[in-house]
Structure 1
Amino acid sequence: MDPNPTTAPRTHSKAAVPALFQAAIAPLQAFFRLQASSGILLALCAVAAMLWANSAWADTYARLFGARLELGLEGARTSFTFQQLINDGLMTLFFFLVGMEVKRELSAGELRTPARAVLPLIAALGGMLVPAALYAAINRGTPALAGWAIPMATDIAFAIGCLTLVKARVGHGLVVFLTALAIFDDIGGILVIALFYGTGLHVDWLVASAAVVGALWLLNRFYVRNGVAWLLAGAALWYAMHHAGIHATLAGVVVGLCIPSRPTRLGREVLEDLSTYVQGCTRESEDESMRGAQLLYIEDRLEELEPPLNRFEHLWRGWVAYGIVPLFALANSGISLSGMGWSDLLGPLPLGIIVGLFVGKQVGIFSFTAITVRLAGTRMPGGAGLGQLHGVSVVAGIGFTVALFVAGLAFDERPELLTQAKLGILVGSVLSALVGYVLLRFVAKPATAA
């Protein structure tokens, strides 16, 4: 026998096929293991949408995402476009994931204690209030004022992806700070959407929504792990909120917040049960059904260690990060630049968004954080210096996904304003990413503390 099996010749074609397949998919595996991969895919979809909408095939872009779909039975049918299906339907899963991330951070993550949460909360407030104020000042007295919440958003996928490119110069504590800040940013965005971008409230459907939320509470209280039960309750809440005048995608947030986040039993108890069970199995059964029952028992006990929140988050994260959000970017980033010039960027609407994202975000986050640290006498996040904090504050101005979502709500019936808003979001986000990267890569001192 060859002492080194790895060098033995491959004599069977079956052995060569897996190796060839592995070599083919290795680049894809490496890409998906990259922390910045979801942000990169998001950027590629945005660029592809821009190129598509300004190419000779621009009409196919409009036809595809404007194609009308129908759902329901005869006499009770509803019609919507493919873009509406993505924005109002699939994005509910994005907000479902946001809700679960918020709950995880509040129950067992960086936001579980007031001491941990106060600094990113204050920074997030600065990063929301200052951009909104700048936008409102620039667009005061114009129809574009309805979009005041657009520059409040931070796109966590893009922002963390940007920091990953300079991770040697940014401490882990600062990455955690930006993540917590973005969580509070998401909460603020959710509240803004719920309070200011509805379509008029209907009390009867609000009561129905409250009843479904009560059912969700019961699912949480009785620790229901069945995904179908949560899916049916979530669909009912989406329907009720849609008719109540609240944007239906927020149903995803509510469901995410209701998912149980703690295991039913302690790890020691489960291990003791398994130990007792294994000792009771004196020998391995030759009966196939008996072996299956034994394996099922062990799997059931191990599942008791994993909260439904972890299981659902693991199940949906890939679909959302690599499917739904890139598709949303592809459907909403296609801006026709025909007839536009550089002067269009100086219009109140796009200029307000660019100033809000690029100037307002960095000024709000940096100043609120630095002042709080100075007054409270606490350390900077991760022991960072002012240069690093400034660079991260600039990166937080990347406000892509949620900003586009809010813009679609603000200017749903004003397509000309929506186009200008999208242009401002793209320019402001790209500017924040590039300048933030340069500051962290070439100006700020390397990280010295995690």
Structure 2
Amino acid sequence: MESNYSEDQPGIIKIFQPYQWFFSSEVASSVLLLFASISAVYLANSFIADTYNHFLHTEISLFAGKYYISKSLVHWINDGLMALFFFTVGLEIKREILVGELASFKQAMLPVVAAIGGMIVPGLIYMFFNYKTPGAGGWAVPMATDIAFSLGAVALFGKRLPVSLRIFLTAFAIADDLGAVIIIAVFYTKNIAWYYVIISLCFVLALVLANLLWIRWLPLYLILGTGTWLAVMGSGFHATIAGVIVALTIPARGKYNTFKFVQEVKSIMDDFKCHDEQCKNKDNILLNEGHLNSVLTLEMACHNVETPLQRLERSLHPWVVYMVLPLFAFGNAGLSFEGMNISAIIHPVSMGIVLGLFIGKPLGITLLSFIAVKTRLASLPDDVKWNQVIGVSMLGGIGFTMSLFIADIAFTSADFLNYAKLGTLSGSMLSLIGGMVFLGFYSRKSGETQ
């Protein structure tokens, strides 16, 4: 990856562009996700399977006077920790809309259209197998894309694939996540408690007002955001929706703009100038009160120029990719093979998800991207070829985390949920292998012709 780093400048910290930092952390987390998933499947079929399931369904309660919330551990992971995941997704969506790949109509159209195609076609394939059957409610399961695994697969090709292709994959995966949130809110909400909806709207209004009043004190947003999450949880909407809503209210401008920050730094450095021979002592800075004050003022200026959105995204993202998602995989990927036979893979639910991910995803993403480019609604990056688009669209069929998440919401039947897990794991694995082989063949072929 390119960066603003020079080997000739010792002591300079390596600086990543937003997409580079996001990409590197997602890639590393895919290893943990894989380990957590394999562990879950092993434990679900081992001699301690009952202990594993009992542990996941241990009741954990929060009390506040006569009020309390009691849920199983796996529900706290799915409703609580995954709300934090969707919060970071919301921050990423807002950043992409403001300054990233979704910042302009022309930039946004290709990944957005690709994401739409990657949701519609898999959904239609699934319904082809499950229309008017008890499994019809799982139509959204094959629509999802797992960012960590798909980016982890692309990383194995190194510089053989253009950076703009990775950005395209990241952008349509983020747009895909936004689509998943909308689908969960609109189609998977059954009973609505309007009293809690009104309370949640009051919290959201307070968040918006805090932003408009230029309040940049993050603990206030934490308190109001937690209130929003609890109210949404009680309303009947899935609690994770609160994560995206709260994220969109987080301020995207700091106390200082760039000009004010530069002027502040110049003023601080002017005061910091040292002409005395004593200042050459490298240990003297803490003994000079004026210099120490300048350092603290400079630190405060750096804090004020960084936006709350950037600060939260940078702070939370490692926790999400290295803890939240692996915990989710450990709690939800436990596919039990007890009572299953080879016919389970051809069950309508399993088959609909497998073909939706492995066939529907690349077909939908590539087809609608092609139509968008040919109609000049969007443009393909100069260094990206169509066979590369096909390859990453196949990797877009790695549904995994998001597919398992939607399946847990869509199915109440343990059998159907098991079929959904089987389809998700099988379809994701086929998509991973197919995308890697396809990209490997064409990247090697293009390298030979150069």
Which category of TM-score, normalised to the shorter sequence, fits these structures? 0.7 to 0.9
Q: 1:314-329 residue pairs with structure 2 within 5 A?
A: 314-329=314-329
Q: 1:91 aligns with which of 75, 82, 98?
A: 82
Maintained 8 Å contact 1:172/1:382: no
Distance change in 2, residues 1:357/1:447 (3 Å): farther
Q: 2:254 aligns with which of 253, 256, 263?
A: 263
> TM-score of the superposition, structure 2-length normalised?
0.87
Corresponding letter in the other structure for 1:251: A
Q: Paired residue for 2:297? A: 297
Q: Could you give the per-residue CA deviations for residues 137-169 of structure 1, whole angstroms, max 9, x where no partner exists?
A: 110111111111111101111111111112333
Instruction: Report the Cα distance in structure 1 between the residues aligned to 2:326 and 2:210, rounded to whole angstroms.
Output: 32
Q: Paired residue for 1:60? A: 51
User: 1:265 Cα shift?
Assistant: 2.5
Q: 1:28-39 residue pairs with structure 2 within 5 A?
A: 36-39=27-30
Instruction: Report the Cα distance in structure 2 between the residues aligned to 1:387 and 1:46, rounded to whole angstroms.
Output: 30
User: 1:297 Cα shift?
Assistant: 1.9
Q: Could you give the per-residue CA deviations for residues 57-110 of structure 1, whole angstroms, max 9, x where no partner exists?
A: 212211111111122046433321110111111111100000000000000101
Please tell me whether residue 125 in structure 1 is matched to residue 124 in structure 2. no
Moved more, 71-80 or 302-311: 71-80
Q: Could you give the per-residue CA deviations for residues 284-318 of structure 1, whole angstroms, max 9, x where no partner exists?
A: 89778766544332211121221111110110010
Instruction: Report the Cα distance in structure 2 between the residues aligned to 1:272 and 1:73, rounded to whole angstroms.
Output: 49
Q: 1:189 aligns with which of 169, 180, 189?
A: 180
Distance change in 2, residues 1:378/1:215 (3 Å): closer
Q: Paired residue for 2:406? A: 406
SS of the aligned residue for 1:231 comes to: helix
User: 1:35 Cα shift?
Assistant: 5.9
SS of the aligned residue for 1:228 comes to: helix
Root-mean-square deviation (Å) = 2.2
Alignment gaps of 5+ in structure 2: 1-22, 280-284
Instruction: Report the Cα distance in structure 2 between the residues aligned to 1:119 and 1:278, rounded to whole angstroms.
Output: 45
Distance change in 2, residues 1:219/1:289 (3 Å): farther
Maintained 8 Å contact 1:169/1:440: no
Instruction: Report the Cα distance in structure 2 between the residues aligned to 1:34 and 1:265, rounded to whole angstroms.
Output: 28
Maintained 8 Å contact 1:129/1:364: yes
Q: 1:82-161 residue pairs with structure 2 within 5 A?
A: 82-161=73-152
Corresponding letter in the other structure for 1:353: I
Q: Could you give the per-residue CA deviations for residues 171-193 of structure 1, whole angstroms, max 9, x where no partner exists?
A: 11111111111121111111001
Instruction: Report the Cα distance in structure 2 between the residues aligned to 1:101 and 1:286, rounded to whole angstroms.
Output: 39
Q: Paired residue for 2:166? A: 175
Q: 1:3-402 residue pairs with structure 2 within 5 A?
A: 36-73=27-64, 75-280=66-271, 293-376=293-376, 379-402=379-402
SS of the aligned residue for 1:261 comes to: coil
Maintained 8 Å contact 2:110/2:378: no
Q: Paired residue for 1:21? A: none
Maintained 8 Å contact 2:30/2:149: yes
Identity within the alignment, %? 38
- Tell me the matched-pair count: 416
Instruction: Report the Cα distance in structure 2 between the residues aligned to 1:329 and 1:155, rounded to whole angstroms.
Output: 12
Q: Paired residue for 1:426? A: 425
Corresponding letter in the other structure for 2:307: P
Distance change in 2, residues 1:34/1:382 (3 Å): farther
Instruction: Report the Cα distance in structure 2 between the residues aligned to 1:239 and 1:266, rounded to whole angstroms.
Output: 34
Distance change in 2, residues 1:221/1:430 (3 Å): same
Instruction: Report the Cα distance in structure 1 between the residues aligned to 2:86 and 2:447, rounded to whole angstroms.
Output: 33
Instruction: Report the Cα distance in structure 1 between the residues aligned to 2:191 and 2:447, rounded to whole angstroms.
Output: 49
